[in-house]
Structure 1
Amino acid sequence: MADFDNNPFVDPDLNNPFKDPSVTQVTRNVPPALEEYNPFSDSKTAPPPKVKMPTAAPSTQPAIMKPTEESPAYNQIAKVHSFPQEHALAQAELLKRQEELERKAAELDRREREIQSLNQSGGRKNNWPPLPSNLPVGPCFYQDFSVDIPIEFQKTVKIMYYLWMFHTVTLFVNVFGCLAWFFVDSSRGVDFGLAILWFLLFTPCSFVCWYRPLYGAFRSDSSFRFFVFFFVYICQFAVHVLQAAGFQGWGNCGWISALTGLNKNIPIGIMMIIIAALFTASAVISLVMFKKVHGLYRTTGASFEKAQQEFATGVMSNKTVQTAAANAATSAASSAAQNAFKANQM
């Protein structure tokens, strides 16, 4: 009974839970800040510091925003900034068009004043070809690109005028080339004579037959003159090709004739090769300008129907045609009357 009479509370370390080794091990390593912390006290002591948890290493990959995650505020700001840019572009375009219209209006006013001044001073006076005043023969045509030709077509007409001059100079040089060839080969007298003929024939005919129709077509927007130019200019291009080929006996220092002359005399052959290159350049430039003029013709609104109307109007308004028609009608009426009178007598 003595074991049961023992008081369990006499020995304080026997069943004391705070003396347990696991508890004492934890309480022995208490952080310094927790020793004086009392959660039940009213004093405003600082709470224990937070224990920092281990964090993962920061990612080195840059953050990329997806297109679908674009901020709506950014879109609104971009739209607000794009409106002034569009407005500025539209305003610049309007200013450019206004300047173009003002320039055209000023050009039209200048041309109108110049035409009025010409009319007041007795009308237009022919100024081409520019000949000295002491010659008995005066200029035959009036030519002024700034007055007659619209601004957008002046460059094209000037190039065609320079092309005509270039071909004229080539024909003139061709005469000397054929003359030199005639000195080397006495059987080439026909080529020399034809070279002089082509220079005297093609120089005025090309000016009158295709250049002046082109000038008048752009001056008055004439469909009929455009068709005349196209028809004659196609023939002119064929002449350029034949001159560049240089068949013997045709009076042209083309490639065939130049190679033949090169076998006889090298300096004269080189001269003929240069002339053949000039004829070839004339043919190539003529083809390019033909395409350009045809493109401008399509933008002017000209057509074959307008050309027919212009031709009919021009023929009927011609005084010579009117006189011939009146004479034919008078003679037809008189013959009909005579026939009727004879029939009545019988």
Structure 2
Amino acid sequence: MAQHRDGGDGNPFAEGSGELDNPFQDPAVIQHRPSPQYATLDVYNPFETGEPAPAYSSSAPGPLPPPSAPTLQSSRKLSPTEPKNYGSYSSSQASAAAATAELIKKQEELNRKAEELDRRERELQHAALGGTTTRQKNWPPLPSFCPVQPCFFQDISMEIPQEFQKTVSTMYYLWMCSTLALLLNFLACLASFCVETNNGSGFGLSILWILLFTPCSFVCWYRPMYKAFRSDSSFNFFVFFFIFFAQNVLYVLQAIGIPGWGFSGWISALVVLKSNTAVAVLMLLVALFFTGIAVLGIVMLKRIHSLYRRTGASFQKAQQEFAAGVFSNPAVRTAAANAAAGAAENAFRGP
């Protein structure tokens, strides 16, 4: 770049400068300046010689790709109060673990049921083949060191059909409640005897009732009911109906509480109320207990009678079962044979 005569740096691009001082005024550069008729620098090649660059023509734009559908997560905006889900992975792991534990629990329960069914099937097959193995008695549940051993075998879930298990269990609980009511009746009569010595007869009878009714009720009406549902025995059904009807009458008498009978019923409690309120309240509770047992006993008697009618049992079947049971008893057969032999011998001897 040339310097001015005054020694300063001049402007080579000024209009007053010579043509040689301005490099952009060079004819070679002016010839190749872009114009609207020629392509822009992106298609211009300065190293080509000869013909000028072709005129620029904008190519038609290609079709734009369709916009991708926004995802549900990006399109839905979370509200300011909505919590963000940062623990989806951990929650899915927890739910999977809970489902696995539930499946394991169900599998164990199914295995226990399968083992129980196998055990019952083996016992039934053994009984059908006439097995002589006796089951170990388990009722009443007494400790091993007790001199008195269990007298009965009882297993409702194994011996009673599925549709009758609830009824038999309810009757078992009814028997237990009646025993507990007799025990509370004994305590109430003892308290009444301590307040009034004239109630000595009622106290003595309460002891007799708890010692007599507890085993007799189990043997006389509960066991026949149990055996009736176990083997569909018409004879045991009839025994149960006859004795349990009398038992319900006794439940009603216990709830009434006639003075001097040894029952702390409503009448006895109201009589004692005049002398001692605390003892009267205890006797009223026992009377209420007796009333509930009497109502439940009547309801269960009607329910079992309806079940009995649906089983197809009848009085003729009961007679046949009784006859078969009597003649199959070895003691009865021996006694009958001895009686027949004695009668025949007397007939041959003559007068």
AA aligned opposite 2:144: S
Deviation at 1:108, TM superposition (A): 6.2
Q: Distance in 2 between matches of 1:308 and 1:159?
A: 28
Give the whole-Å Cα distance in 2 for the aligned partners of 1:254 and 1:301.
39
Matched, 1:143 2:154: yes
Matches within 5 A, 1:9-88: none
* Corresponding position of 1:164: 175
Q: CA deviation at 1:284?
A: 0.2
Displacement after TM superposition at 1:122 (Å):
4.1
C-alpha separation between the residues in 1 aligned to 2:321 and 2:336? 19
> Do the aligned partners of residues 298 and 108 (structure 1) sit closer, same or farther apart at CA in structure 2, a change above 3 Å counting?
farther
Instruction: Give the 5 Å matches for 1:128-207.
Output: 128-207=139-218
Distance 1:178 1:109, change over 3 A: same
Whether the 8 Å contact between 1:223 and 1:302 is mirrored in structure 2 is: yes
| Runs of 4 or more above 6 Å deviation | 104-108, 117-121
SS in structure 2 at match of 1:140:
coil
1:113 maps to which residue?
122
The equivalent residue for 2:307 is 296
For 1:113 and 1:321, the matched residues in 2 are separated by 33
Alignment counterpart, residue 225 of structure 1, candidates 233, 236, 249 = 236
Aligned to 1:243: 254
Aligned AA (1:176): L
* Aligned-pair CA distance for 1:237: 0.3
Corresponding position of 1:307:
318
Match of 2:277 among 266, 273, 291: 266
Letter in 1 for 2:135: R
Distance of 2:209 and 2:268 partners within structure 1: 16
Match of 1:211 among 190, 209, 222: 222
SS in 2 for 1:130: coil
How far 1:135 sits from its partner (Å)?
A: 1.4
Structure 1 residue 147, shift from structure 2 partner:
1.2
Paired residues of 1:177 and 1:272 also in contact (CA < 8 A): yes
Q: Which amino acid aligns with 1:242?
A: L
Q: Give TM-score, length-normalised by structure 2.
A: 0.65
**1:187-227 CA distance string (max 9 Å, x none):** 00000000000000000000000000000000000000000
* Counterpart position of 1:69: none
Q: CA deviation at 1:113?
A: 2.5
Contact 1:213 1:225 in 2 (8 A): yes
Select which of 132, 136, 144 maps to 1:125: 136
1:252 paired with 2:268, answer no
Provide the identity percentage: 60
Change (3 A) 1:310 1:120: closer
Relative to structure 1, is the Cα distance of residues 107 and 316 closer, same or farther in structure 2, using a 3 angstrom cutoff?
A: same
- Could you give the per-residue CA deviations for residues 142-195 of structure 1, whole angstroms, max 9, x where no partner exists? 000111100000000000000000000000010000000001110000000000
Cα offsets for 1:206-261 (capped at 9, x unmatched): 00000000000000000000000000000000000111000011000000000011
Letter in 2 for 1:139: P
Query: Which runs of 5 or more residues in structure 2 are unaligned?
Result: 1-112
Q: Which residue of 2 aligns with 1:330?
A: 341
Normalized against structure 1, the TM-score is what?
A: 0.65
Paired residue type of 1:222? S
Question: CA RMSD, aligned part only?
Answer: 2.1
